[in-house]
Amino acid sequence: MMAKKGRLELKETKLFHTTKEDLESAAQLIREGKTVIFPTETVYGLGANAMDEKAVREIFKAKGRPADNPLIVHIDSLEKIGRYVKELPRNAQLLAEAYWPGPMTLILPKKECISDVVSAGLMTVGIRIPQSAVAREFLKNCDLPVAAPSANLSGSPSPTTFEHCKDDMMGRVDGIICGEDSAVGLESTVIDACGEIPVILRPGGITPEMIKTVCGDVIVDKSVDGVVDTEKPKSPGMKYRHYAPNAEVILVKYGDTEKMRKLAEEVKESIVLLTEESVENFGRESAICIGSQKNPETVAHNLFRVFRECDKKGYKRIILEEIEDKEIGLAVMNRAKRAAKK
Ligand code: AMP
Ligand code: MG
């Protein structure tokens, strides 16, 4: 469900640049138990001290996020991980060495110091070391584990620019670091790496192929392919409608421009989001190009930004052309299917 603005005590939101001084001031807010939004290569994160329950509750309040949806904890270097997790199983060690810093979250057995509010009562915690240099300098200055979900109102598309964060969060957080647009544009790959074979709970920038190369094998959890409705999925966030614009989203197979046109004719305020390969066939009218089938990274980078633009322009129906669900296309289609869930 989309969280409603309002009925929340308004905060004074300080805007920071990415200078050394500003990143220090922003980190100081975190140390004081406040909330700060910071850029990362996946999407912008809404951070607070993961060891301070009161601070973490402010994240849930700002987002309107359900309390049973755990948060990912961000740190700046692998050396510090032992402070927060009980052990680093073999597959986790291999993945950490290969893909950190980067768009990957590992689910690990948590130490007591990580608040139960962060883990939503689970014995595990998701940890990530982001690649973004600004994120890591900020985290290093904090010198604390920083719990941070995506910095959007719960249910809506994740923010990939600081303008998106301002749109959703001015007055709801204590600070926003205005950095670059997120390079990847989709959330991290969430991996349970505690067992014999790593399990992907949420696909992202680190692909199944990349995990297989390092660990020899990989399992993609059933929930990734569709939308699970069970009360207790392995990755709690998976049970919610997610990543969705206000407009209705309908998916259409690659190349079926006739169906796209038909669906667009049914609703006056419709927009078609298609890939470069179909532009000529469809014609340019009432369509936006979201990237290329050949380079699915481009679609990942643009998807959430374009969803938000469509809402701003007041479209009621978004007709989205599918891409192949392999490599990062798996993550794109996972978000697209969730956005299309009624
Ligand atoms: P977000 O913070 O919005 O990127 O969402 C983080 C997602 O990571 C959650 O929705 C969960 O699905 C997943 N996650 C975080 N912590 C855990 C955990 N301890 N076990 C399983 N999944 C987790
Ligand atoms: Mg999120």
Domain ranges for the chain: 3-186, 248-340
Q: What angle do CA 109, 112, 113 make, to 5 degrees?
A: 115
Protein residue whose Cα sits closest to atom 5 of ligand 1: 149
Ligand sitting nearest the alpha carbon of 148: 1
Does residue 238 have a pLDDT over 90?
Answer: no
Q: Looking at 125-129, 167-171, 172-176, 228-232, which range is the least confident one? A: 228-232
Ligand sitting nearest the alpha carbon of 192: 1
Which residue type does 332 have? V
Q: Report, as an integer, the average pLDDT of 179-183.
A: 98
What is the maximum alpha-carbon separation in the chain?
Answer: 58
Strand locations in the chain, DSSP E? 14-16, 36-38, 45-49, 72-74, 104-109, 124-128, 146-147, 175-177, 189-192, 199-202, 219-220, 248-252, 270-274, 287-289, 317-321
Q: Report, as an integer, the average pLDDT of 4-17.
A: 82
- pLDDT of 51-75, one tens digit each? 999 999 999 999 998 888 899 999 9
Residue with tokens 């692998």: 78
Q: In the structure, which protein residues have their CB atom closer than 6 angstroms to any atom of ligand 1? A: 69-72, 107, 119, 122, 124-126, 149-150, 187, 190, 201-202, 235-238
Query: Is-contact 92 175, C-beta < 8 A?
Result: no
Protein residue whose Cα sits closest to atom 20 of ligand 1: 235
Q: Report, as an integer, the average pLDDT of 18-35.
A: 98
Share of the chain above pLDDT 70, in %: 93
d(CA 121, CA 107): 14
| CATH for the 248-340 domain, from 3.20.20.70, 3.40.50.410, 3.40.50.2300, 3.40.50.11030 | 3.40.50.11030
Q: Residue 196 carries which DSSP code?
A: S
- What is the model's pTM? 0.94
Protein residue whose Cα sits closest to atom 10 of ligand 1: 237
Query: Is-contact 263 251, C-beta < 8 A?
Result: no
The sign of the torsion formed by the CA atoms of 44, 159, 198, 192 equals positive
Architecture of the domain whose range is 3-186: Alpha-Beta Complex (3.90)
For residue 286 the two structure tokens come to: 């009432």
Q: Residue 22 — very low, low, confident or very high, per pLDDT cuts 50/70/90? A: very high
Q: What pLDDT does residue 189 have?
A: 98
